[in-house]
Amino acid sequence: MRGMSEDLLGRPVRPAALALADGTIYRGRAFGAETIQSGEVVFNTSMMGYQEIATDPSYAGQIVAMTYTQIGNVGVNSMDDESRKPFLSGFVIKELFDIPSNYRAEGTIDALLRQSNVPGISGIDTRALVRRIREGGAQVGVLSTDPDLQDGDELVSRAQNAPGLENHDWVARVTCDAAYEVSDGAWPGIQGQLPRPGRPENKLKIVAYDFGVKRNILRLLVEQGFDVTVVPATMPAAETLALEPDGIFLSNGPGDPAAVEGVQSIVRELVQTKPVFGICLGHQILALALGGTTHKLKFGHHGGNQPGKDLATGKVAICAENHGYAVDAESLRAAGEPVRITHINLNDDTVEGLAHETRPIFSVQYHPEASPGPHDASYFFGRFREMIERVANGENVTGAEISQVGL
């Protein structure tokens, strides 16, 4: 039977349950779609930008728990979507505000998740959930907002038999179906309240591989004066080179980098002739193409407060990150490629940036576009522009030089 209580406004309250593979069960109130979904349960420490997080394709295959307690108070709007729809498997929060109060609001997070068949659960002890993940590591969970399936034993059994991120190509689920052009730049603000420098007049053409690219990354590439063509993740190198781009961009994306079908050989061919810049999953795939390996992190880096240190300058940037895998530094050294580590995460010393010593190639693990913030690392887009310009002018510039390694 579907016995439902009502909230203080007389609206029906649906039950929801989140079951982890280790047998832990959390019960709360349902929002979003009425369905059952499985995914790797992770937590995000950002205090703002829940819409950008929910629509980040890098979360495909994951159930995301927010550590900030109040979610939904500013609603959602079409301009802040980072992809065509939410690709995450579920959303976990402490307290849902479903009557937004913001002049930009066009709807609610509840409605956005309903439209995309994504379940949500509110009213649980998110501190206890985060503590369990931190201590035991990320694990698969099942989130049910179906009132007819709330049995804990059944949900735990489903979680124990559901696939995780490993060895699954999640990029295939989020990449675009066909190539397209991008012309929209960064949001101009309300009546020009966010003045920005003019875009360079000298247009440069780049091809952006869509492994799950965020829209704000594409906007900031446009702001750098690039003509941007976005292509599917498996676009053959020959077809990309036939477009005669000045450079190649490898985007962020979800899941296990080693499981993305056919991409390593494509990137291996592209780096022979073109300047290349990779972000997040693109950084990891670039490392794999250069002979390195990756490994899974205990609970990943998800949030807008990760410390990334530039080894060339000693400066530390507060970075937005969203990844569950990291590049193995020793594997790059063993591969024999002249690649330097340019940045590290100060929380665990994992690799956060790479630069090639003989080719115009560099990459970063975090998201320098940082929508909605912080913006400490946005300078990487300018570095990419400078590298391509110098190559176009006939200079023998390298990724290491652009990254100021050793200065």
Q: Which of 301, 302, 323, 367 is catalytic?
A: 367
Contact 111, 27 (CB under 8 A): no
Q: CA–CA separation, 211 vs 241, rounded Å? A: 18
Task: Tell me if residue 30 falls in helix, strand or coil.
Answer: strand
Q: CA–CA separation, 209 vs 286, rounded Å? A: 12
Q: CA–CA separation, 255 vs 166, rounded Å? A: 7
Q: CA–CA separation, 322 vs 75, rounded Å? A: 22
Contact 365, 321 (CB under 8 A): yes
Q: CA–CA separation, 107 vs 100, rounded Å? A: 8
Contact 141, 159 (CB under 8 A): yes
Q: CA–CA separation, 4 vs 11, rounded Å? A: 10
**99 CB-contact burial (10 Å; exposed 0-12 / middle 13-18 / buried 19+):** exposed
Distances (CA, A) of 339 to 3, 118, 297, 358, 369: 61, 41, 22, 8, 24
Pairing between β-strand 316-327 and β-strand 294-310 as defined by DSSP bridges: antiparallel
Q: Which of 280, 301, 323, 337 is catalytic?
A: 280
Secondary structure element (H or E) that encloses residue 27, with its range: strand 25-32
Q: Which of 321, 369, 389, 401 is catalytic?
A: 369
Q: For this structure, is 369 an active site residue?
A: yes
Q: Is 315 left (phi over 0), alpha (psi -120 to 50) or beta?
A: beta
Task: Tell me if residue 391 falls in helix, strand or coil.
Answer: helix
Q: For this structure, is 367 an active site residue?
A: yes
Q: For this structure, is 375 an active site residue?
A: no
Q: CA–CA separation, 279 vs 407, rounded Å? A: 23
Report, as residue numbers or ranges, the catalytic residues: 280, 367, 369
